[in-house]
A = this chain, B = another copy of it.
Amino acid sequence: MIERDDIDLIDVCVPNHMHHDVVIAAAEAHKMIVCEKPVAMNTAEAEAMVAAAEKAGVANMVSFNYRRVPAISLARQVIDEGRIGRPFHYRATYLQDYTIGADVPQGGMALWRLDSRVAGSGVTGDLLAHSIDTAEWLNGPIARVVTHTETFVKERKHADTGKVEKVDIDDACMFLAIFANGSMGTFESTRYARGRKNYNTFELNGERGAVFFDLEDPHILQFFRYADPDTGKKIEDHLTGWQRIHVTNFEHPYMGAWWVPGCTIGYEHTFINGLADFLAGLEGGPAFQPDLRSGLRTQRVCDAVLQSAREGKWIEIPE
């Protein structure tokens, strides 16, 4: 692909341990790059990838596709409009349940996410990377973390060889965070939360309002309106309550390009929304975010999270 002249862009959706080489080769061949997340196995790799892409000056994006879920984009809009105000609390979860069975194998094509040599880490890189990207996009940089990780099932058969091997990845990871803006955060991810299949949630509570999102109901943003963003004046006391906004109006982010109000879009449309923005960036629109540099930032936070788990103490994260 790198040698072909009729290919302008490489979509790097190979397993994580190959991102580094492919991205650098693509950059050196002056191809545009779409890179899956997490961008790399670790911060050092990610730094090299950013350097290569920026040296080559190629447009690039990282598929933190959830920023393009219209309801999450709307959360960002609501924050930008001043409707949340001073933030106090952020809490995020990304819960799944598909590896509870001790007979789930690890490795191979289907389950490489359970093989640390290929995935780099477990839920931290796979799921929390999403939560961290969204959190920093909505609430600014994380300054400090303290973490605990766990591997509940200690040994699994390899999917290809059938050989029983030690499980090296983090099955679950939880951490406390202090944001640079002074707000507090809790983060948790696991593949052992019976009953939660794709429970990627966040809630942000501020002085003037709050938002809540759950990827299992991706068309909904919950919004609590407490005070006017301009005046700070409270709304009527008897009419406060969480609003369930069905994010399918023409006025909602991305939705003018899809169906009529009340009709939902699917999982893959978040990628399409992202690619539309990427193309718009190529044609003079705002440069696409998140790019590889932004992905490097998330990698740095992930590495600090894992370091805290290993060392059992709070870790500072350079901005």
Contact = CB atoms under 8 A, between A and B. Distances in A.
Given A243-B242, A244-B244, A248-B197, A89 B176 contact: no
Nearest to A97: B205
A194 B91 contact: no
A154 B199 CA distance: 36
A74 B238 CA distance: 8
A172 B194 contact: no
Interface stretch (A34-42, A131-139, A157-165, A266-274): A266-274
A269 B74 CA distance: 24
Contacts of A244: 241-244
A247 B96 CA distance: 15
Interface in A127-184: 146-148, 150, 152, 172, 174-176, 178, 182, 184
A144 to B, nearest CB: 9
Given A100-B207, A259-B267, A262-B216, A194 B226 contact: yes
A223 B242 CA distance: 10
Given A174-B176, A188-B91, A197 B238 contact: no
Number of copies: 4
Given A223-B239, A238-B249, A239-B245, A146 B176 contact: yes
Interface residues of A, number: 82
Contacts of A243: 239-244
Contacts of A194: 88, 205-210, 224, 226
Contacts of A226: 194-195
Given A88-B192, A192-B88, A197 B312 contact: no
A310 interface: no
A307 to B, nearest CB: 15
Contacts of A262: 96, 197-199, 215-216
A272 to B, nearest CB: 10
Interface of A: 74, 77-78, 88-89, 91, 93, 95-98, 100, 146-148, 150, 152, 172, 174-176, 178, 182, 184, 186, 188, 190, 192-199, 205-210, 212, 215-219, 221, 223-226, 237-246, 248-252, 258-269, 312-314
Given A195-B205, A266-B269, 20 more contacts: A78-B239, A88-B193, A89-B95, A89-B193, A146-B148, A148-B176, A175-B176, A193-B205, A194-B208, A194-B210, A195-B226, A196-B205, A198-B262, A199-B262, A217-B217, A218-B264, A237-B250, A243-B244, A263-B266, A313-B314
Closest 4 CB pairs of A and B: A198-B262, A197-B262, A195-B224, A266-B266
